[in-house]
Structure 1
Amino acid sequence: MKKTASFVFAALGFCTAILGAADAQSAPGTALLDRLDTNGDGALTRDEIAAARERLFERLDFNRDGNLDAEEVGRFQDAVMDRAVALQILLGAQWRRMDSDADGTVSREEFRSRASFFDLVDRDGDGRLSSAEFLLVRNILSGRPDR
């Protein structure tokens, strides 16, 4: 069980990194801090971390029996892998789009001129991200497309 718990928390870190990328323009780690900092004082207390771990446990305990079993951990592993594969595909496609002269490399100018993630999120192509566009993509990336 120790190995399984280690995997779950390592995977949590991986998922947090992926989802943090969707929180766009804030300083690294700020979005995660903001989510965990429930009293808004800009710091995390032991109680806030414990509450975050409790919320994570509740999300992972699919059958609500108060224990994480191998099947539940397996579901979490599958979800992490599905998102990782999807992100790999997305990044590969975006990288190919950035290579506008198709020479197999992305120059500094090609890299700077293409706002790939922005273009992906701007679903109506108006050059602006509405809150609905941002939330839709964030929810899809976090596995909650219905919210």
Structure 2
Amino acid sequence: MKRSVLIAALLIGLSPLCAAQAQDMPGQRILQRIDTNDDGAISKDETTAARQRLFKRLDGNGDGVIDEKEIESARQAINDRAETAQARLANRWRHMDANGDGKVSEQEFASSMPLFDLADRDSDGKLSADELASVRKLIAEHAN
């Protein structure tokens, strides 16, 4: 899951921001997903609830057990997501290679932020907390 979020961030040109954020707040994504009462900690009850949600997601037919077919289905879904992310990354890399030499220079990499303007809804050249929250929401929706 963490890999898909970082790939998505790279795709929208926010990888330096996300990398810095990840270093500043290790475990923050897990905390946000499991800490349902927003007290800044994960209780045993919240962990149990998270495991119950995961079980329900894995138990595709709802029969109360996870069988080999359901695990294979989950594994295939993970592989499909990985392949899609790889294709997106390859496509993004080709777009960053502005001069078509088969390499992405530091300048090409730094100047290639086509979706920054999309996230910068007020066009002030900066991403506000609200704009970042919108981006994070989009990434989270596509990661699930």
Q: Which amino acid aligns with 2:3?
A: A
The 3 A distance-change label for structure 1 pair 22 and 54 is farther
2:61 pairs with 1:55: no
Compute the displacement of 1:133 (Å): 7.9
Measured on the aligned residues, the alpha-carbon RMSD in Å equals 3.2
1:80-91, aligned counterparts within 5 Å? 80-91=78-89
| 1:74-103 CA-partner distances (Å, limit 9, x unpaired) | 110110011000000000010111111112
Which residue does the alignment assign to 1:74?
A: 72
2:4 pairs with 1:18: yes
> Aligned pairs, how many?
125
Which residue does the alignment assign to 1:7?
A: none
- Taking the aligned partners of 2:64 and 2:43, their CA distance within structure 1 comes to 25
The 3 A distance-change label for structure 1 pair 79 and 133 is same
Which residue does the alignment assign to 1:45?
A: 43
Which residue does the alignment assign to 1:103?
A: 101
Unaligned runs of 5+ in 1: 1-14, 143-147
- Kindly indicate whether structure 1 or structure 2 has the higher relative contact order, using CA contacts under 8 Å at least 6 residues apart: 2
- Taking the aligned partners of 1:21 and 1:35, their CA distance within structure 2 comes to 19
Compute the displacement of 1:45 (Å): 2.4
| 1:19-77 CA-partner distances (Å, limit 9, x unpaired) | 46557756224233212111212222232222211111111101111110011111101
- Taking the aligned partners of 1:135 and 1:112, their CA distance within structure 2 comes to 24
Contact 1:19-1:141 at 8 Å conserved across structures? yes
Contact 1:20-1:32 at 8 Å conserved across structures? no
Identity of aligned residues (%): 36
Unaligned runs of 5+ in 2: none
Compute the displacement of 1:134 (Å): 6.8
TM-score (normalizing by structure 1): 0.66
Contact 2:96-2:104 at 8 Å conserved across structures? yes
Contact 1:62-1:72 at 8 Å conserved across structures? yes
TM-score (normalizing by structure 2): 0.68
Which residue does the alignment assign to 1:114?
A: 112
